[in-house]
A and B are shown apart, each in its own frame.
Chain A
């Protein structure tokens, strides 16, 4: 690919000759692609603040705008389906940007041969999720590609939202002593998908995706603690570890989390132990992280706990000076370990 020699066109820093699966996994490789290729060319920014949603000003009004693509396999799994993810995923990106989701448009790429009842099921799921999330789906587009080119269906959703008053999300506003809050147990979605694929031959009854809109929870902490909310993110692909590493890099401080506080349900924990996976790296679709100034942290935490669906919220950790740019987990015995971003998707191990 030729890079323009025009001196006003930024050069790309992305040096890899082809795109690999790892570039879509939400970890280090993904970030390299976005920062090294998309950002300089599309965003025209050497160091873009890569948030969940972008802020655009139209006619004097600030709006949040975001988009997401959904390619999950299998399409249906305990607790949800691709349609639900498509709505909740975009709703959540808006929510953690501090915005009320207002409208969504959806784009479908369908594989020729897709049974209609499958499509209908997903569209119904989307309608349902949209209704529950209080957001309107106002437009859509459909393309059909040849058999074998789309894994049944891919869905993209783009959402627009209006900012909640008093919230300003900015990784650079994070300060020493800020608290890190987590809305609930982690790992449910990713483990559910892993087992639902069937390749590993594990079964569990008590396992379901946590897909849901987190907006009610965000609204709850906004009411009590808006001025103190520095940063929020929904830890999807790459898990809590990746989201907090992104924050650490963006704010240049150290994020400390207390292992004893990490909420993981028994079944998820059992699966992680069996497969040698770290819950911190597993995708979630119904949780969010918030960094809150210490004087507001308790109010935010209490507001979360009292909210339906927020009962398992925890204060996960806090922001310190070192290790700068990294995430440190303190074990229950006073030992510690660095937790890095994922390279690609989490892989089961036997060693």
Chain B
């Protein structure tokens, strides 16, 4: 019930509104988008796939914010870093005990 993987919508089908081709690291499958009918994904969107159905759209914004929160752990709230900028070891931060 829990294995769900992020995949990218790469192809939609004009006559079949609920079908899409989704790709994960070069592996492709037709996925049913019916559970997202209230907010249909477009080509290029990322969705969470479970048993051949798209369960949810993945919010890149939320993912980014989450990573930033994690990287900022123990740091001052003002330090906003790019996700890939792991220069945080340099910041002098007293260890919270």
Q: Do chains A and B touch in the complex (CB under 8 A)?
A: yes
In the complex the two chains form, is A270's CB within 8 Å of B51's CB?
no
Closest Cβ of chain A to B49, distance in Å, is 8
Q: Mark out the residues of chain B between 5 and 58 whose CB falls within 8 Å of any chain A CB in the assembled complex.
A: 5, 24-30, 49-52
Q: Which residue of A has the minimal Cβ distance to B4? A: A350
User: Which of chain B's residues have a CB closer than 8 A to the CB of A199?
Assistant: none
- Segment from A56-64, A85-93, A177-185, A200-208 that makes contact with B: A200-208
Is A347 interfacial (CB-CB < 8 Å)?
A: no
B73 within 8 A of partner (CB): no
Tell whether B91 is near chain A: CB-to-CB under 8 Å: no
Contact A203 B27, CB 8 Å, known A350-B50, A350-B51: yes
Would you call B29 and A202 a contact (CB within 8 A)? yes
Alpha-carbon distance A195/B25, docked complex (angstroms): 15
In the complex the two chains form, what is the Cα distance from A350 to B49 in whole Å? 11
Cβ distance B14 to chain A, nearest Cβ, rounded Å: 20
Docked Cα-Cα span, A266 to B25, in Å, equals 6
Q: Which of A205, A273, A349 contacts B24 (CB 8 A)?
A: A273
> B3 interface residue, CB < 8 Å from A?
yes
How many chain A residues have a CB neighbour from B under 8 Å? 19
**Would you give the shortest CB distance from B65 to chain A, in whole angstroms?**
23
Q: Does A201 lie within 8 Å of B25, measured CB to CB?
A: no
Whether B1 is near chain A, meaning CB under 8 Å from some CB there, is yes
A351 touches B25 (CB 8 A): no
Contacts of A276 in B (CB 8 A): 3
Assuming the contacts A350-B50, A351-B2, A351-B3, asked whether A274 and B27 have C-beta atoms less than 8 A apart, the reply is: yes
Across the interface, name the chain A residue whose C-beta is closest to B30: A201
Give the interface size class of chain B.
Answer: 10 to 19
Q: What's the least CB distance linking A279 to chain B, in Å? A: 13
Would you call A253 an interface residue if the criterion is a C-beta within 8 Å of the partner chain's C-beta atoms?
A: no
A57–B67 Cα gap in the complex (Å)?
64
Which A197-234 residues have a C-beta within 8 angstroms of B?
201-207
Q: Does A271 contact B (CB under 8 A)?
A: yes
| Chain B residues positioned under 8 Å from A205 (CB to CB) | 26
Is B28 a contact partner of A350 (Cβ separation < 8 A)?
A: no
Contacts of B24 in A (CB 8 A): 270, 273-274
Q: With an 8 A cutoff between CB atoms, is A269 at the interface?
A: yes
User: Contacts of B28 on A, CB cut-off 8 Å?
Assistant: 202-204
Q: Are A267 and B26 in contact (CB under 8 A)?
A: yes
Residue of B with least CB distance to A348? B3
What 1/0 mask marks residues of chain A from 313 to 351 whose CB sits below 8 Å from any chain B CB?
A: 000000000000000000000000000000000000111
Which residues of chain B have C-beta atoms less than 8 A from A203's C-beta? 27-29
Q: A204, B27: Cβ atoms under 8 Å?
A: yes
Shortest Cβ gap from B80 to chain A (Å)? 25
Residues of A within 8 A of B51 (CB): 350
Which residues of chain A from 162 to 197 have any CB-CB distance to chain B below 8 Å in the complex? 195
The answer to whether B29 and A201 touch across the interface, beta carbons within 8 angstroms, is yes
A206 and B24 CA atoms in complex are apart in Å by 12
Bound CA–CA A205/B25 (angstroms): 11
Q: Across the two chains, which residue of chain A brings its CB closest to B29?
A: A202
- The CA of A202 and the CA of B5, in the complex, are separated in Å by 14
Residue-wise interface mask of A (271-284) relative to B, using a CB-CB cutoff of 8 A (1 in contact, 0 not): 10110100000000
Distance in angstroms from B13 CB to nearest chain A CB is 15
Q: Which 6 A-B pairs have the closest CB atoms?
A: A270-B25, A267-B26, A270-B27, A270-B24, A204-B27, A203-B28
List 20 additional A-B contacts (Cβ < 8 Å) besides A201-B30, A274-B29, A350-B1: A201-B52, A202-B28, A203-B29, A204-B28, A205-B26, A207-B26, A266-B26, A267-B26, A267-B27, A270-B24, A270-B26, A270-B27, A271-B25, A273-B5, A273-B25, A274-B24, A274-B27, A274-B49, A349-B3, A351-B2
